[in-house]
Structure 1
Amino acid sequence: MAQNAVCKIAVDDIALDRQVITNSDFTFSHVLDDWSVTNQKSSGRCWMFAGLNLFRVGAMKKMNLKEFEFSQNYTFFWDKLERSNHFLQRMIEMVDRPVDDRCIAWLLESPLEDGGQWNMFVNLIKKHGLVPQAFMPETESSSSSSRMNRILLNKLREGAKTLRDMASKDASFDELLDAKDEIITVIHRILSIHLGTPPTHFDWQWNDADKEFHRDGEMTPQQFAEKYITVPVDDYVCLVHDPRPTSPIGKTFTVECLGNVEGGAIVKYLNIDIDLMKQIAMKTIMDGEPVWMGCDVGKMMQSNLGLWDAKLYDYEGIYDTPFTLDKAGRLQYHQTLMTHAMLFTGVDVIQENGREIPRRWRVENSWGADSGRKGFYLMNDNWFDQYMFEIAARKEYLPNELQDALEAEPIVLPAWDPMGALAREVSVVS
């Protein structure tokens, strides 16, 4: 019977558990969003969209606007340029290693993907600020980045060879830096052709939701960010759930060679228990603020329904075999990793044994309004346990002993560790 069905119909349609669907009620005790979703289109900028969507909530309130977007193309430009510089700097530092060294080979394989991490997003904002979308709108290449990325990769790999060849001929460190700057000048030109030229200043004025006129006058991107980012960015920390036995709870970690802005903050996260992550995310939403998060988006998902549930598909019933890897095993054996960042904008909280616990989550995605329910999704709490990996949250929500743990020197994971995977997201089609 399974063979007859699956030979004619997609296996997901056969395995879909209808009881999960009928029991998933799209209502929540706490909902923050009353705005429309954004659309990253055919790019891997989810981390950037999620961060800017977090910031735009406060900006809309401050400016009394129903709809507003920061320019995702502006931050995209600077991330590509900064990451190019970061990559070439690593090539200079590693010129004494053979080209087939595993770390160098890894960097050459994926030096300039679209993805990123929370700390990388903050680095961009602190250095380059923000602009409204109107002053650097989307282009064909920001919305569909694969062709541009291929050109950039060609130049970066060529640049890596140039630097290594110079080093083999005893070029000085300063000579290598000068050569790197020449390569970055070319990268800047390519990016400007594809994405436009980032504004250094602009004149900002608007009509608010009550049709009242406001004028800020001429501003720089840094001034605009300082005025309209309403959350204390410096108070945020990156929290993950990594259940592998090699990743102790309460320890900080970083990933080798992962970053964008030279001299900026490293990618650093604290490993915490999954229940604590839930409590922090829940309390943040209940206090009126969305939550930036990272997960393995494609697992047990039905995008037309806008639904995630850990038991959404009964593959075991279809194939008459158990699938036994737990979350730690899936990480260790390359079965799961962080693939997408989004925003929690709601939670359904119930009382159980005198405690407030979440049972489902409302998620703002960045795949446009045609995905999910006008772009919003429902995540049942059992899916959170299995496929959620990361949130950015205010340090104050952590217990005191874990706040102290944040100050510890991080354990360094290799460049290819799955906990760095979100920064390797490639162009996607939603």
Structure 2
Amino acid sequence: MTKEITNEAIANFAADLDKHPGINIASRAAQQNGIYKASQNLQSKIDLEPTFSIEIDTGKPADQKQSGRCWMFSALNTMRHPLQKEYKVKDFELSQNYTNFWDKFEKSNWFFENVIATADKPLGDRKVSFLFATPQQDGGQWDMLCGLIEKYGIVPKAVYPETANATSSSALNDTLNTLLRKDGLALRAMINSGKTENEVTARKNEFLNDVFRVLVISLGMPPKKFDFEYKDDDGNYHREADLTPKEFFDKYVGMNLEDHVSIINSPTTDKPYHKVFSVEYLGNIVGGRQVRHMNLEISEMKDLIIQQLKGGEVVWFGSNVGKDSERQLGLLDTKIYQRDELFDIDMSMSKGDKLDSGESMMDHAMVITGVDLVEGKPTKWKIENSWGEKPGFKGYFVMSDTWFDAFVYQAVINRKFLSDTLKTEFDEGAKDPIQLLPWDPMGALAK
């Protein structure tokens, strides 16, 4: 039975206001300044002063601008940092637009193949609706970037620079998604009318040809070979001609991508710790690398990250950056906004409840470059973001350890820092990972 809100109930709610001291002060502050400014706690700025006991110098941060490519920027940052140091090229960047081009092309084929595989299901089926809701987008995860590099290599940013449609991607995404939805419906119609597999494949390739043309016009034609020229920080000139993108990656980046493992922290009842998971429909390359996550307790995740930082390697990680963050100050802290006090309401939720209810999930990837340890325990973390130099501390953010507990969900760790037990658990679990539904929060894409 439904229950409407009565006038008596409203009168009781109004009378209850008198029970909350300071409500008039809180009202004036919130109405004049907005909820976040009215509840902002300046103590966070004092506590998160950017000094760290362990810190890796990574130079000038990159800027993804008006695009959702943080996962690419952050992953490529972890790869460019060693290159900058070894070859003495300050602020050198790898081409984010190059991986962007191939990601959008591969995601289009991924969409078509999944549309073909689900053509026997009605359009109202939840999985079909999920596919057509967003045929492709800017967001992604670590394994998806690795798959692109394994197939296509990488190039310097100077060789394949940003374009207007890379830095402000909404028009390109809208164009591609309109095209893909139209073509996806056509493929479904062909299959359901009894067309042969060869006929469907031929039509799909015609559609991919259109996608390729849209991408070349919007982003440029990716190079097959190029000359790598640069002057190092000592002024010395270097040049190597006729490199392929894969040759460049192998020689100048040289990271063994297979040695890097995705770990997550999802304290929900459906995800036992030390098990490996994958997510249905999560990926970008048909026949490419599968996204796999091993779920660990938050203390285990932190210990591995600290080991990696001590070993001189930065850490790619995914989090919910929109929660309890002050972008201009560059602060990530669960105490930065005291909304509970402002409204005299208990708003606390466990991390598991936040995930299960949709209150929180990963939405942004960054790089951990430092940590402040006090008596061996982390108190704050140094974060390289990809929003340029204006916000925070010249583009770097400071994350409190309590924010880490609440809103960090994924990190990528070099296998050499895993214990033998963790290596075995991951390898065994990765052979047949537990499959999660497409809309599981661990399938959220970082943007």
Could you say which residue in structure 2 is the equivalent of 1:247?
A: 271
Q: Secondary structure at the match of 2:239?
A: strand
- 2:31 counterpart letter in structure 1: C
SS at match of 1:12: helix
Q: For residue 380 of structure 1, what is the amino acid of its counterpart?
A: S
- Give a deviation string over 1:300-329, Cα, whole Å, max 9, x none: 111121111111111110011101321000
Provide the residue aligned with 2:54 in structure 1. Answer: 30
The question of whether the paired residues in 1 share the 8 Å contact of 2:229 and 2:240 is answered with yes
1:192 matched residue in structure 2: 216
CA contact (8 A) 1:62 1:228 kept: no
Q: Spell out structure 1 runs of 4+ moving beyond 4 A.
A: none
Corresponding residue of 1:295? 319
- Matched residue, 1:428: none
The equivalent residue for 1:161 is 185
Q: Map of 1:265-344 to 2, 5 A cutoff? A: 265-344=289-368
State the shift of 1:34 in Å.
4.3
Count of residues paired in the alignment: 420
With structure 1 as the length reference, what TM-score do the two structures score? 0.96
Deviation at 1:357, TM superposition (A): 2.2
Which of 425, 429, 436 is residue 413 of structure 1 equivalent to?
436
Distance in 2 between residues matched to 1:214 and 1:18, nearest whole Å: 49
Contact 2:372 2:379 in 1 (8 A): yes
Paired residue secondary structure (2:445): helix
Q: 2:109 aligns with which of 85, 93, 97?
A: 85
Query: Which residue is 2:414 aligned to?
Result: 394
Decide which structure has the larger Cα Rg and report it. Answer: 2
Residue among 85, 102, 115 paired with 1:61:
85
Q: Which amino acid aligns with 1:53?
A: N
Deviation readout 1:269-300 (Å, 9 max, x if unpaired):
10001011111111111111110000000111
Does residue 171 of structure 1 match 2:205?
no
Name the SS for the 2:229 alignment partner: strand
| Cα offset, 1:358, TM superposition | 1.6
CA distance in 2, matches of 1:310, 1:78: 38
Matched, 1:129 2:153: yes
* Residue in structure 2 matching 1:219, options 230, 239, 243: 243
Residues 34, 247 of structure 1: alpha-carbon distance in 2 compared, 3 angstrom cutoff = closer
- What runs of 5+ residues in structure 2 fail to find an aligned partner? 1-24
Alignment partner of 2:401 out of 358, 362, 381: 381
Alpha-carbon contact 2:58-2:369 (below 8 Å) kept: no
More deviation, 25-34/409-418: 25-34
Q: Do the aligned partners of 1:83 and 1:261 also contact (CA within 8 Å) in 2?
A: yes
Query: SS at the partner of 1:47?
Result: helix
Helix, strand or coil for the counterpart of 1:422? coil
Please list every run of 5 or more consecutive structure 1 residues that lacks an aligned counterpart in the other structure. Answer: 426-430
Q: Which residue of 1 aligns with 2:4?
A: none
